[in-house]
Structure 1
Amino acid sequence: MVQELVQDQISADLKENKTSRLPLTPPATVEKKRTDEKEYVSKVSPKKLLPQLKKNNRKPRLKYRPEAFSIFHLTDYLDGLGGDKDADFVRYALKHSKRIITVAGAGISVAAGIPDFRSKTGLFKSLAGKNLNGPVSGKDLFDFNQVYSCDEMSIKFNGMITSLHKLAQESESTEFHFMLNEIAGEGRLQRLYTQNIDGLDTRLTHLNTKIPLDKPAPMTVQLHGSVNHVECNMCSMIDKLNPSIFKCHSEDTTNNTQVVPTCSQCEEYETVRMVAGLRSKGVGKLRPRVVLYNEMHPEGDIIGEITSHDIKKKPDCLIVVGTSLQIPGVKQLCKQFAQTIRARKGIVLYLNKDPPSQSLLDALGWVDLVVLGDCQDVPKLF
């Protein structure tokens, strides 16, 4: 009897608990109420948003492409003499291309007061003269075999370098430099390969470089070095160029200047070695960090690696500006980029004051538009 009463009481308690206790979590069929904060959260679908972002960042369709190797006279257009479609084509290339490769020459710095090399008023003409061995062309002052062949030629070379250094320090970057800097700031300039040694480009915010050249590659690759630096031919020390250490005139005796100055770091090492009783290794010579004719390019290998990397990145626009491409290596560089960009239906522009020779066009293999005129007028198209 007692057991039956206990069992009845337990059953009653269980029945009461089932009716009075709520479950720990609501059943799946019960809809949770949204808080006020969640009601204001917009429903965003990433799958729908991503294509929309891509659509907004998509390059607009190119509506007009001139016949290959067509010529556009920029000055005539700015004077109101037609060429609207070609002008729109140039605008499209500069505004909408995503991975622009630019190969620049001395022509982009002429407006800053720095002479080019091969024009009628260029350095090759103005530096021509004579020495004890006969006539000297301006080109000889950029030839490694000539520059250090005798003291007289070295003195002329020193004078030319220090003059260019002074001019570069006093000059300002041009409108075309600033345009390239702006494109780089937008993330659309893949690389600037410059033949210029003045450094007017690399002083701008987004056109930085590395001296010596190193990876990861900087935005600007100086193909021919810089007039603003010197390097020791023995210990490879790099320093800023100090004009006072170079003998620029045959009668120059200030500060015990030497025709080819010695390296202070090597001299310091020699002093330490002498005190330590070690044998002498010699003292190196300082020379401007400029690549001359008839010498091995000290950074040729790494430039080749950067070029190969840029080609694999699939650039969509090549701008060759302010250069007649007389240097075989630079001409080959442009040809490789032109072939890659043409294969991807990109745009190849050649900008210069003087029309290119047929042999140059044949060497490049493809140019969409030859823009004749001052490159400083290109920003006026915008």
Structure 2
Amino acid sequence: MESSMLQTCTNLIKNAKNIVVLTGAGISTESGIKDFRSQTGIYQRAPEYILSLDNFYHNPKGFYQFAFENLYHPEALPNKGHEILSQWENEGKVSYIITQNIDGLHQKAGSQKVIEFHGTMKTASCQNCRKTYKTEEMINRLNSIDDFYICNHCSPPTKKDRYIKPDVVLFGDSGEWFTIDGFNEIINIINQADILLVLGTSLKVTPFSTFPQYRREGTPLIIINKGDSPYDMSKDSYIIHDSIGETLSRIYEDLKVNK
């Protein structure tokens, strides 16, 4: 890790009062959760079709079995990166975390202002009546009911109308933030930031990848990610290709010493 870049980022964060954080799979891999696109990621074993809305409706039982095995990690614990972001939120330095992750680790660490842009694996909802089921309940249903993915609290004409879908955004799907109002709220949040801190995402998947474009001119963009991103050479970008937990820990300790 280049010490001069680390010091520059530390100074920027020290003076910041409204940091908006964008996080991706790279922060969760340090808690033992597999990512999607790396050489050891989930997509090496399954194509994107597996996580599509079409596949869910075509093979709901198979979809759920894959999701429970690969996307649901109730045993995972927040790592140092999650904990520091939570602490900075408590100190009034971080205003929002906008995450691609569906694991809930930011909330487990204590963060309150979290936008789960791609949804969550903690719950599932009937696509007709919107009744919410906890994922633990869906696992129990899978083990005890043949058509466990069909809601029994409503009765539209066809069974497919009352399929219970995990509350994650699938390919071909849209979530609560994939609306004009949702986008505008996120754009407004980013536009008010005095630093945009990006952690563990290559910023190559739209529409999440477009968010840095909405920061005010001159707003620093700090990216801590082991891989490259399209923004690495852009103006006002500060890039560290290293561990998120280790990097944030060094910044955090330096800020404590130099208060």
Q: Conserved in 1, the CA contact under 8 Å of 2:16 and 2:195?
A: yes
Question: Superposed, which structure 2 residues align to 1:12-161 within 5 Å?
Answer: 74=1, 83-125=2-44, 127-128=45-46, 137=47, 139-149=48-58, 151=59, 154-161=60-67
Q: State whether structure 2 residue 142 is matched by structure 1 residue 223.
A: no
Alpha-carbon distance in 1 for matches of 2:3, 2:167? 44
Any unmatched runs of 5+ in structure 1?
1-73, 75-82, 129-136, 209-218, 247-253, 271-279
Q: CA deviation at 1:281?
A: 5.9
Q: Which residue of 2 aligns with 1:305?
A: 184
Distance 1:334 1:311 in 2: 8
1:215-254 aligned at under 5 Å gives the runs: 219-241=113-135, 242=137, 243-246=139-142, 254=143
Question: What RMSD, in angstroms, separates the aligned Cα atoms of the two structures?
Answer: 2.2
TM-score normalized by the length of structure 2? 0.86
Larger radius of gyration: 1
Q: TM-score, normalised by structure 1?
A: 0.60
Report deviation, 1:98: 0.6
Secondary structure, counterpart of 1:332 in structure 2: helix
Q: Secondary structure at the match of 1:353?
A: coil
What is the alpha-carbon distance in structure 2 between the residues aligned to residue 308 and residue 355 of structure 1? 24
Q: Distance between the aligned counterparts of 2:53 and 2:235, measured in 1? A: 33
Provide, for residues 295-343 of structure 1, a one-character-per-residue CA deviation record: whole Å limited to 9, x for no partner. Answer: 233432242232243145x211011111112221111122212xx1xx2
Structure 2: where are the runs of 5+ without partners? 254-259
**8 Å contact kept, 1:164–1:198:** no
User: For the residues of structure 2 that align with 1:175 and 1:118, how far apart are their CA atoms?
Assistant: 23
Counterpart-to-counterpart distance in 1, 2:63 and 2:145: 18
Contact kept, 8 Å, 2:212 with 2:221, in 1: the verdict is no
CA distance in 2: counterparts of 1:86 and 1:311, whole angstroms: 23
Distance of 1:142 and 1:220 partners within structure 2 = 23
Distance 1:97 1:265, change over 3 A: same
Tell me the number of residue pairs that the alignment of Structure 1 and Structure 2 aligns: 246
The range that moved more, 194-203 or 345-354, is 345-354
Show CA shifts across 1:239-288 (max 9, x none): 31121223xxxxxxx42332x6111322xxx5xxxxxxxxx666611111
Change (3 A) 1:336 1:309: closer
On the 8 A contact 2:52/2:171 being kept in 1, the answer is yes
Q: Which has the higher contact order (CA 8 A, sep 6+)?
A: 2
Measure the CA separation in 2 of the matches of 1:367 and 1:324. 17
Question: Do 1:225 and 1:290's aligned partners in 2 also have CA atoms closer than 8 Å?
Answer: yes
Q: Percent identity?
A: 22
Aligned to 1:264: 152
User: Does the 8 Å CA contact 2:22/2:197 hold for their aligned counterparts?
Assistant: yes
